[in-house]
């Protein structure tokens, strides 16, 4: 068994420079999906020694940002169907704060897994984290809220786990849900439709883990429009989890 990690990155090289070195600590099989004109992402992925998958399908057939088509193109090319492999969809703006998964043998291969995320939406917050002026626990934890049996006021469900594509982990052969991403003209709905193809009882959060989402929410569904960040991260330094234990996350 192994985990095939797929990172989509078009116009996110500034975030990828922060997140990819940390992702490499926990995963070996990593592929960065990008477009032919994103020379910065291509150069950095090559520098980090990870696999690249370059495709031009992002804007085909009038799509503003067809993330689903890019992922499907890679899965078709990789030909993992029928293997004992797990697939992890991971956004380029997601920083793994610690070991993101328990022993893979303890996961249900029929299910879909995710991790709760904290939001670091501004470069100012990021600078304060790096300077030790903020703790990770000071940042808001964002989990879609279920209200009257609905999420986001219109998606009927009593379980908000794994509905967002920033971190979705599933078994390529044994998962009960879809094996490919549903069609989508941008990045705002394909991941939700994919998650809803799994029964509620098989959509699960991996408890005791968190990731850090860098940049604003609900802004880049049609491609990157938010401002670039001009700051780096020294992963050997780590962050303080909370003000009580003073635990650096990369030592957890």
User: Which residue, among 190, 234, 232, 249, has the nearest Cα to 13 in the 3D structure?
Assistant: 232
Give the pLDDT confidence score for residue 184 in this predicted structure: 82
Give the pLDDT confidence score for residue 81 in this predicted structure: 94
Measured CA to CA, the distance from residue 136 to residue 172 in angstroms comes to: 33
Q: Which of 66-70, 110-114, 201-205 has the least mean pLDDT? A: 66-70
Q: Which residues contact 215 (CB under 8 A, 6 or more apart)?
A: 15, 93, 120, 121, 226, 229
Whole-prediction pTM: 0.92
Q: Which fold has domain 2-251?
A: Spore Coat Polysaccharide Biosynthesis Protein SpsA; Chain A (3.90.550)
Taking the CA atoms of 29, 63, 115 and 75 in sequence, report the sign of the dihedral they define: negative
Instruction: State pLDDT tens for residues 135-154.
Output: 999 999 999 999 999 999 99
Instruction: State pLDDT tens for residues 188-200.
Output: 789 999 999 999 9
> What angle is formed at CA 89 by the lines to CA 9 and CA 251, rounded to 5 degrees?
90
């Amino acid at each position: 068994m192994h985990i095939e990690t797929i990172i989509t990155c078009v116009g996110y090289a500034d975030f990828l420079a922060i997140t990819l070195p940390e992702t490499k600590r926990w995963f070996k099989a990593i592929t960065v999906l990008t477009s032919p004109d994103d020379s910065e992402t291509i150069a950095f992925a090559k520098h980090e020694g990870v696999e690249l998958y370059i495709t031009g399908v992002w804007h085909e057939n009038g799509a503003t940002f067809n993330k689903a088509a890019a992922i499907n193109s890679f899965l078709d090319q990789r030909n993992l169907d029928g293997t004992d492999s797990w697939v992890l969809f991971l956004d380029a703006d997601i920083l793994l704060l610690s070991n993101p998964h328990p022993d893979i043998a303890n996961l249900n291969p029929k299910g879909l897994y995710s991790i709760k995320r904290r939001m670091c939406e501004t470069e100012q917050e990021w600078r304060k984290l790096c300077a030790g002026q903020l703790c990770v626990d000071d940042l808001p934890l964002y989990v879609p809220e279920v209200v009257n049996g609905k999420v986001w006021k219109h998606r009927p469900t009593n379980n908000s786990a794994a509905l967002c594509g920033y971190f979705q982990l599933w078994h390529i052969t044994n998962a009960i849900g879809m094996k490919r991403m549903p069609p989508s003209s941008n990045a705002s709905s394909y991941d939700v439709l994919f998650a809803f193809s799994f029964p509620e009882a098989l959509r699960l959060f991996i408890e005791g883990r968190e990731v850090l989402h860098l940049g604003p929410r609900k802004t880049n569904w049609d491609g990157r429009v938010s401002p670039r960040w001009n700051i780096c991260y020294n992963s050997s330094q780590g962050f303080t989890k909370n003000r009580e234990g003073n635990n650096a996350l990369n030592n957890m």
